[in-house]
Each structure stands twice: as C-alpha cells, then as structure tokens.
Structure 1
Amino acid sequence: MFRIVLLSLVTFLMILSSLWAVLALWFQAPGGGAGRYGFPLLWLLGLVALLYWFWLGGSWWQSLLVYIALFALLVVWWGTIKPSNQRDWADDLAHITTGTVDGRQVRLDNVRNFHWRSQQDYDIGWESRVYDLSRLRSVDMFTSNWGLAAISHVLVSFGFSDGEHVAFSVEIRRERHERFSELGGFFKQFELSIIAADERDIVRVRSNVRHEELELYRINLGPADARELFRSFVVQANQLAEQPRFYHTVTGNCTTIVYSMMKKIVDGLPLDHRLLLTGYLPAYVHEVGGMVPGLSLAELQRRGRITQQAREADTAPDFSALIRRGVPGWE
C-alpha cells in the first residue's frame, strides 16, 4: 500500500510538472507553428511512455531518473529565454517612455499621442514634453474593463495647473503579430513597458475605439507624494528601457508595479488579492483611504463612470476637462 501511494504521488507530480512543460513549449518552442504543436506533442508522448515504464516496466526509478533529466534540460532551456527591447513591436508600443529629472523639471521622451480612428487606422505620434512638478495638482486612477468583472487595466494620470494631463500605463509590450493572453503572461510571451500618453490617446482609444468601460477616481495624495510617484514612474520606465523585463500576469502587471512604487511612498500599504483581481482594485484603494473622503465606494463608482462622457468628448481639445465633469474631487 505504501508503495502504491508513493508511486501515485510521484505520478501526480510528473503530470503536474508536465502541464507546465507543455504550456512552456506551447508559448516558447522554436520552429513557428510546427514547433508550437510538435514539441508539446512530443513531450506528452514521452510522458505516456515514461508512465507506462514507471508502472508496468518494472523499473520505476529508471523511468523517474529519465523524466528528471528531461525536465532539467527543459528548465535549462527555459533559462536561456531572455527579454529584449529589440523586436518588431506593434506601432503603439514601439517605444518605452523615458525621462530626465532636473529638480522639479521633468523631460519625458516618447510620450504617445496617437489619433485613433479604429484599431487598425491611426496617426502615429511620439513627442517630447516638459513638465514642472511644482505645478502638479492632481493624481487620478482610471480603470478600464472589457467584460471580465475581475480584470481591469489601470492607468495613473497626473494633472497640472494649466489643465494638462499625462497618463502613465504599465503595458504588455506586444510584437506586431501578437495578441494579449493572460495565460501567455505566465510564460514569457510579452515584455513589460511603461508608456506616458496624452489622455486623448490612451483614454479615448479604450472608450471610443475598443469600446471598453471606464471609471475615473481622484486619488487622495499629497503634493510631495504625488511628485514622488511621478518621479517613480520615470525611474521605472528608464530601468525598463535599459534592462528589459518580462511581463508576468501576477508579479509584474499594471497594478503590482504601481503598488511597488506606492509602497515606498505610503507606509503600511497591505498586500491584498485585489491587487491581482484588478477589477476590484477601487474597493482596495477606498479601504486604505486613497479616494475622496466622505463618499461611499458605490457613490464614487456611480459618479466616476466616464465612458459616455469620453465618447461624447471624442476629439475635443478639452477632452480631459469634459470627462471629469461631475467626478468627485473635480466638481
């Protein structure tokens, strides 16, 4: 009985590790489509043969040693897959924003300012802009949802006394032929990018072109902390431009990266499952006192739904002001 239990446990571990191996090969095997299908199939056939040998061949330990050796080779190969900033990127992810900080003057290079007519039809625009952090007046959080209640994309936008806003987005960096995959985000399919963009680009493309649902929340953050958060985005973006990093669905996404910045600015921010289930992030921010005080989360959400306002504002020069009408903190 002990032998059967032990062999069953080892079999379970072989199957479980093979699930990871098959997915790793599916997303990263060389050889294009043939490799994507061929290598996972070969692994599964090898697993079946080894399990047959394991249970019926009379040499279970030899079968296990062969499997361990094969899995070790796979892990070594996996370690050779490195992130890169030199790929054929999609146009809207062609650059990572970088910046230089001189006191309270910040120069940002590669600020995105596309004019979108559809997801395939757009005017490309990358600009250099200078911001005076002494004129920084606000921090906002946008959430953008495309149908999965638990998953939203998060943008952080900074507003200045002259009415200008610039939004930072932690993005997957897709190659031209790629589509986003939450599962692929566990298997080195995408690099990580930080982009600063004009709100008429990065907000409008989500509301008016991709037809996502957006909410806007004014963040309760003091002037010194707001300036430090802006600088943190610049530092993180510069690091990604110098040292590429893989996006990871759990450990390196649009929320966990921002959380790592905020944790250095605001003491005592707790870890929470809503940092991963980003559709529920507003509830977390509300609980830690990060929103306009005196209003319930339900009221903030109701008044923060800006999708229709963004669609009506469309290409208006005062897009940022129009989408904020009625939003708590912006009355």
Structure 2
Amino acid sequence: MGRAVRLCGRTVRFTLLLCLALWIGLSLHFQIAAPLVYLLYTALALCCLVAARFILRGQWGRVWGLSATVLLIWSMWWMNIAPRQDRNWMAEVARGVTSEQGVGDLVRVRNVRSFRWSGPTEAVEEWYDLDLDPATLRSVDIIMSIWDSPEIAHTLVSFGFADGRHIVFSGEIRKEVGEEFSTLGGFFKKYELVLIAADERDIVHLRTDARGETVSLYPVAMSAAQRSALFLAFLDYGNALAQEPRWYHTLWTNCTTMPYRLVRGVSDRVVFDPRVILSGRLPGYLYDLGVLPDAGAVPLEVLKKRAEVPRRAVTGLSGVEYSRMLREGWQE
C-alpha cells in the first residue's frame, strides 16, 4: 500500500511538472517569433532534462527549486504582455464601436460597419456613424453562426428599432493582417478583443453567403427597459475597450461569454449554464428560460427550423429590406 501511494504521488508530481512545461512552451509558441523562440525552446528543454535528472535521483527539493525559478521568470514576462490598439489590423476589425451622447435623447453610435462582401475576405468597405434613440428599440435577436463543430457557434446580438433598422453587436478577435484564428492561441494572449457594430446586410450576409456558414436567428423576449439597458451596456463595453484594450480568451472572454455577462447585468433570471460555453447549444438554454417565441408550447426542434436563415442575394436590397427578409421564418 505504501509503495502504491508513493508511486501515485510521484505520478501526480510528474504530471504537474509536465503540464507546467507544456503550458510555458505553448505560451512561447504563440508569443515569440522565430528564431528567438527556438532558443527559448532549447532553454526550456534543458531545464526539463535537468529536472528529469533530479527526479531520477529522488532530489525533489531541487526539482521544485528549479521549477519555481522557471515559473517566476515566466510569470514576470507573462504579466508584462499587454493588449494593444496600434497593430496592423485587418480591415473588418480595424474599428471598434464607440458612442457618445447626441442631441436630446439620441445616442451617437460611431464606427458602424457596412461592408458589401463579394468573398470571405473581399469587400467594399464602408463605416458610418448613426444617431439612435434607445426608447425606439422594438426587438432583440440572438443570431448564431456555426462554421465547424455544431457544439460551437459565433453569437451575435441584434437590436431592432421602430424604423426597421437593425444594429448587430459582435465580439470578435482583432486579427492582424495575415493572421489566422487559433482556438488554442486564444488561451495565450494571441488576440485582442474588439466589439464590432454592423448592419445585418453586412455581418449576417458575410456568414450565410460569403463564408457559407449555418446561421440561425432567434427573437428573444425582453422588456423595453431591459432592451434599452442592454443596448447601452454594449455601447459602454465598446467605449471601455477603446479606452483600455483587453485580451480575447477562448473560454472566458469570447463572442458568447461577453454578451452573457452583459445580459446578466439587466436580468436576474440569467444564471450560468454549460451551454453558454458550448454555444451551439445556446438555443436550448434560451428555450428553457422561456424567452423564445412559443417556448414550451412548441418543441425546440420546430423553433430551430423556423430560425434557419437561408442564403439570399442582397443586390438591390436596402438594409431594412434585408432585415425584414431574415425574419420571414418567424412571421408564419
């Protein structure tokens, strides 16, 4: 029994050390460019070899001393990696949404994106400012876009106004020119976070047609006060990012968890659920909350079918006409 306990203890300690080395190695991979990263890999490998030698001799005190030294040096470097605003951003994430008080009750929303996409990365670029009255908000919709695994979706929040216009907020990684998304890199300060505001003819058409993703739209029941508070919360978040950039995180600060936190601020019914992380299952969570149309009276699978957004040409359509078309499935 004593031998088994000692063996188990050694296994746990060795696993912890291995995980530490792997974590540090991945952080170097996503932060340091070649050729310097190869020198750091070599230094880390040498530390691992020395630690292995100490382990074979049973000199665990030296193992922990070496590990603590490496961890301290790494931590000092890691804590000093700060997000920035001044990188060479890709055009579609070059401007985050900001806002300011307009005339009277109006809010001036700045940097609304209105690109016209001809391909996954090709577009005619346009940005504009817009004066909106939060009191004229009439709807909130959750738009979900699945590009790979059905368990994970990109989540967007669309606000509809009395005049038929819709503004969509999307929390996204702020990619630099030539940069590709990596789920693993999102754990290691690889990307800054940006909050994009766009019209639906831009950001929904990009995903349905230009990228060929599976997109669904779900109307969400909220009171007028909640709609207004949530809209202003998104604008405040955009202003905060403009003042102090933040890192995107694959689990904790992504396209779903960021709006989830904002919704929690305006509704005490919203509690954490694993489906917030497994965002492809978010419709089930909304269904259980009772905020989807006919929730409880109609099966969830029926609502999912109604939520499907077909691919449609946008040539000649105004933004208001395109937004109306997106909701045809809910007018049955």
Using structure 1 for the length normalisation, give the TM-score: 0.92
Q: In 2, distance between residues paired with 1:7 and 1:71?
A: 20
Letter in 2 for 1:99: S
1:321 aligns with 2:324: yes
Shift of 1:315: 5.5
**Structure 2 SS opposite 1:178:** coil
1:54 aligns with 2:55: yes
Letter in 1 for 2:94: A
Pairing of 1:69-218 with structure 2 (within 5 A): 69-101=69-101, 104-218=105-219
Letter in 2 for 1:10: R
Pairing of 1:36-55 with structure 2 (within 5 A): 36-55=37-56
Q: Is the 8 A contact 1:54 1:61 kept in 2?
A: no
Shift of 1:7: 3.6
Identity %: 35
Deviates more, 1:136-145 or 1:93-102: 93-102
Deviation digits for residues 138-157 of structure 1 (CA, Å, limit 9, x no counterpart): 11110000121111001111
Q: Is the 8 A contact 1:26 1:39 kept in 2?
A: no
Shift of 1:5: 4.5
Deviates more, 1:91-100 or 1:112-121: 112-121
Deviation digits for residues 201-245 of structure 1 (CA, Å, limit 9, x no counterpart): 111111111110100111111111111110010011100110110
Q: Is the 8 A contact 2:230 2:262 kept in 1?
A: yes
Deviation digits for residues 271-306 of structure 1 (CA, Å, limit 9, x no counterpart): 111111110011111111121133321111101101
1:11 aligns with 2:33: no
Shift of 1:264: 1.5
Q: Is the 8 A contact 1:157 1:165 kept in 2?
A: yes
Pairing of 1:61-72 with structure 2 (within 5 A): 61-72=61-72
Q: In 1, distance between residues paired with 2:49 and 2:136?
A: 65
1:301 aligns with 2:304: yes
Q: Which residue pairs with 1:287 in the alignment?
A: 288
Q: Which residue pairs with 1:244 in the alignment?
A: 245
Shift of 1:319: 1.2
Q: In 2, distance between residues paired with 1:3 and 1:138?
A: 62
RMSD between aligned alpha carbons? 1.8
Q: In 2, distance between residues paired with 1:3 and 1:213?
A: 52
Letter in 1 for 2:135: S
Letter in 1 for 2:61: W
Q: Which consecutive unaligned segments of at least 5 residues does structure 1 have?
A: none
Shift of 1:41: 4.4
Shift of 1:313: 4.1
Letter in 1 for 2:212: H
Q: Is the 8 A contact 2:140 2:160 kept in 1?
A: yes
The alignment of Structure 1 onto Structure 2 pairs a total of residues equal to 324
